A and B are shown apart, each in its own frame.
Chain A
Amino acid sequence: MISGTAYGVVLNDRDQLAALGPALSEAPYGAPPDWPVVYIKPRTCFSFGGAPVLLPSDCDHLSVASTVGILLGRDAANVRRENAPAYIGAMCVALDVCTARDDYYRPAIAQSCRDGFLPLGALAAASALPDEIVTRIDGAIAHRWALSRLVRPVERLIADMSSYMTLRAGDLLLIGLPGDAPRAFAGQDIEISAGDLPALRTRIAAPT
């Protein structure tokens, strides 16, 4: 189980970095990122068993970004890339929900940390990562992305992050978000599938 901190990274999608292009060299950024751009999802975001995501009353839609969560099986500190697989305890599909993703300058706490904004699929034994993640909205494929798009594959992500902060056993690491994540609206059903991992199903519920 997740007993620690849920970390994730943004701007780990090659296609997104290409699309943003020169904008990352302009204000307020100044230069493309050198290090993983890390965020934290608080425990109140975790949602299991297909509970619906509540659309906040101040929003018309949500950005639903599919990813894979890695559950750390051992404390990872100063881990070399080639040794990183030994630290992966289990994995699951995950849906990173956010009200808007238009700004990477300040941590997106009010956008990303709302209750239930991290639905998680069932954990499965660590195996090879899936090749791609597919998002279906109301049964139709709304998005798919190949994990070959990751700028830092999982092994390098664990190596780079663990060079300055320990990823503890029980922490969750979300390995990257697609820059072209789809939007979802109240009443829509969402299904995330990725290779052999147990699929995640949830729904966007209208505010009550």
Chain B
Amino acid sequence: MRRARIHFAGREQWGAVEGEGDAQCVRLADGQCIASKDAHWLAPVTPGATIFALGLNYGEHRAELGFAKASTAPLVFLKGHATLAGHQSTTPYPSDAHQMHPECELVAVIGKPARGVQREQALGHVAAYTIANDYAVREYLENYYRPNTRVKNRDGATPLGPWLVDAADIDDPQDLRLQTRVNGEIVQDGATADMILSVADLICYLSGFMTLIPGDMILTGTPAGVKFVAPGDEVVCEIERIGRLCNRLEAPR
């Protein structure tokens, strides 16, 4: 099942996504089905959820940024909620930026509390998967709590969605192809098989020192392909069996 959070009738509502293409709609709790083409998509996140993100979790991406291919400790950072945006959102392009790039990432959503979870049991704590576009603005990098919030926690700069896909519908989260297209051109083309730490590894690692709570999200890092974007660009992040997350960069006002 695919579950989406949309804005409809003046409030946020969760619904089940049904059908494909022009016939696709979001079935709300009261039974009415809102056509996807008319839906106002919100990030499928629950209030208060902790948003974890991974840096440098794909070997080829580490290499293109000048880091050794092998990892020492996992590079984990956190995000607030004001940086999240939904499917078909617009993201502000900073007026003085030249090095902003998209990052397509598989997101695991926690379904039951996890503390001290063994790797073999870890995927049992995942409720669903979705897609994030974890934009970065490289010229804002500082070497303090890097990647710092000015790079990674900007308003509306982490599109997420379009929906959650139940974990039961994903046979193997480490066997998914990820692609990013900018104005139709493929700029990232990777496979979750190339993650240094798998979804199960990450749940094992994080739950080793803290409790993961249902709704918490783990953005698992991005494959190679740093492509600088510009205002007006259309960016589509696609992960097979999950969907396509569309976003547009808005010129500074």
Q: Which chain A residues (1-47) contact chain B, with CB distance < 8 Å?
A: 3-5, 7, 10-11, 28-31, 33-35, 37-40, 42-44
A141 touches B (CB below 8 Å): no
Contact string, A158-179, partner B, CB cutoff 8 A, digits 1/0?
A: 0001001111100100000000
Residues of B within 8 A of A31 (CB): 143
Whether A29 and B143, one on each chain, are in contact in the complex, defined by CB atoms closer than 8 angstroms, is: yes
Which residues from A are CB-within-8-Å of B180? none
Q: Taking the nearest CB of chain A, how far is it from the CB of B214, in angstroms?
A: 12
Inter-chain contact total with CB atoms closer than 8 Å: 103
The complex places the Cα of A44 from the Cα of B94 at a distance, in Å, of: 33
* CB of B65 closer than 8 Å to a CB of A: no
Contacts of A166 in B (CB 8 A): 82, 155
Complex CA–CA separation, A193 to B164 (angstroms): 45
Contact with A along B94-112 (1 / 0, CB 8 A): 1000000000000000000
A35: chain B residues at CB < 8 Å are 142, 148, 150
Cross-interface CB contact of B78 among A11, A40, A161, cutoff 8 Å: A40
Q: Is there an interface contact between A77 and B148, defined as CB atoms closer than 8 Å? A: no
Residues of A within 8 A of B146 (CB): 105-107
A113 closest partner in B (C-beta):
B210
Does residue A152 face the partner (Cβ distance < 8 Å to B)? no
**Chain A contact residue count (CB 8 A cutoff):** 39
Alpha-carbon distance between A34 and B142 when the two chains are bound, in angstroms:
8
Known A-B contacts A44-B210, A115-B211, A166-B155; the reply to A105 vs B144 at CB < 8 A is yes
| B contact set with A: CB distance below 8 Å | 47-48, 50, 52, 73, 75-83, 94, 115, 142-146, 148-150, 153-155, 209-211, 213, 216
Interface of chain B, main secondary structure: loop
CB distance from B61 to the nearest CB of A (A): 17
Contact A42 B144 (CB under 8 A): no
Most chain B CB inside 10 Å of its own CB: which residue of A33, A105, A165: A165
Expressed in whole angstroms, the Cα–Cα distance for A26 and B149 within the complex equals 22
Q: Does A110 lie within 8 Å of B50, measured CB to CB?
A: no
Hey, which chain B residues are within 8 Å of A39, CB to CB?
78, 145
Distance (whole angstroms) from the CB of A181 to the closest CB of chain B: 17
**Provided the pairs A3-B48, A4-B81, A115-B211 are in contact, do residues A165 and B145 lie with their beta carbons within 8 angstroms?**
no
- Can you name 19 extra interface pairs (CB under 8 A) apart from A44-B211, A105-B146, A110-B209? A3-B47, A3-B48, A5-B81, A10-B144, A33-B144, A35-B148, A37-B148, A38-B148, A40-B80, A43-B213, A105-B143, A105-B145, A106-B75, A109-B78, A114-B209, A164-B154, A165-B80, A166-B82, A171-B80
Whether the Cβ atoms of B210 and A115 lie closer than 8 Å is: yes
| A28: chain B residues within 8 A (beta carbon) | 143
CB nearest to B48 among chain A residues:
A43
CB pair A42 B78 closer than 8 Å: yes
The CA of A114 and the CA of B80, in the complex, are separated in Å by 18
Q: How far is the CB of A202 from chain B (nearest CB, A)?
A: 18
